[in-house]
Amino acid sequence: MKIAILDDVHPIILETLNKYNCELLIHHKTTLEEFKQIIHLYDGIIIRSRLKMNAELLCLAKKLKFIGRPGAGLENIDLAFCESNNIKVFRSPEGNMDAVGEHALGMIFTLFNNLNKSINEVRNGTWLREENRGIELKGKTVGILGYGFMGSTFAKKLSGLGVETIAFDKYISGFSNDYVNEVSLAELFEKTDVLSIHTPLTLETIKMIDKKFLNNFKKSIYVINTARGKSLVTEDLVELIEAGKVLGTCLDVLEYESSSFEFLDAENLPKPLAFLLKSDKAVITPHIAGWTHEAKYKMGKVLVDKIVSQFF
């Protein structure tokens, strides 16, 4: 089996596939136009987010049996085309769900306890205690939007912290357990103190979290997004922070990222992002929630095991 490796992946993927005498070709720097000329040669593709596997490209892949994507998101793959052409699509959200859950917790604790602000102040010789008095997560209600691998793992991470954890998922039901109570969207709006977004990027979720959506919450809330940046309208978020409706935000993903999760133009920051980067009410990280060393291994291991179980 001939397999194209289009992105940097954990060696466990290459080591495992080599055991099955696969011919692996590395195309980390191959452009889209260049890959169009050779995609017909391959039985399998391993990709993260560098190239978009759309119908225009995939229609050239006459031998293709599978696409493997380490991680959770599949927005760069035309799933409808794959299904209609019997191309298997594998992903491995099980591999980085713990990393995402831990990162989300770290971000909200950083925000609640003014860690970024106070650390920088101490480094500059300023020792302010009262001005950096924090708030506790205990006693608050955390509302989870989307209860797949990431949302359910985040709920487990919250257990033991003395919070009420509720979740709404439009497409999943019957998931109440020791960690979470399933609620309607109306109840999510009514009870939530801290909103954590765990939805995939689809046509339905692009710009879904906008001013109208956020104004539905009964309380002033905190917003965490470790899912996909384009689901949250940054301009609306900033407007509601200034109005006091949103008390603070933790963003590991940005609306302004490229499709391969790179920042588009650091020299010309959009005004909403420039505001957030200067604000003590925002904690922003560079799309690293699922980026731990352990997660890279686990994403690769889970993915390659799925491929092997299907084809070898």
The set of catalytic residues is: 228, 257, 287
- At position 272, the amino acid (one-letter code) is P
Contacts of 181 (CB under 8 A, 6+ apart): 164, 165, 166, 167
CA 184 to CA 166: how far, in whole Å?
Answer: 9
CA dihedral 27, 29, 32, 38 (to 10 degrees): -30
CA 200 to CA 311: how far, in whole Å?
Answer: 27
Residue 47 DSSP one-character state: -
CA 257 to CA 15: how far, in whole Å?
Answer: 32
Which parts of the chain fold into alpha helices (H)? Answer: 11-19, 32-36, 55-58, 79-84, 97-112, 115-123, 149-158, 185-191, 211-215, 234-243, 271-278, 293-311
Structure tokens at 58: 């995939």
CA 143 to CA 196: how far, in whole Å?
Answer: 6
CA 198 to CA 289: how far, in whole Å?
Answer: 12
CA distances from 17 to 42, 64, 283, 301, 306 (A): 14, 16, 40, 11, 12
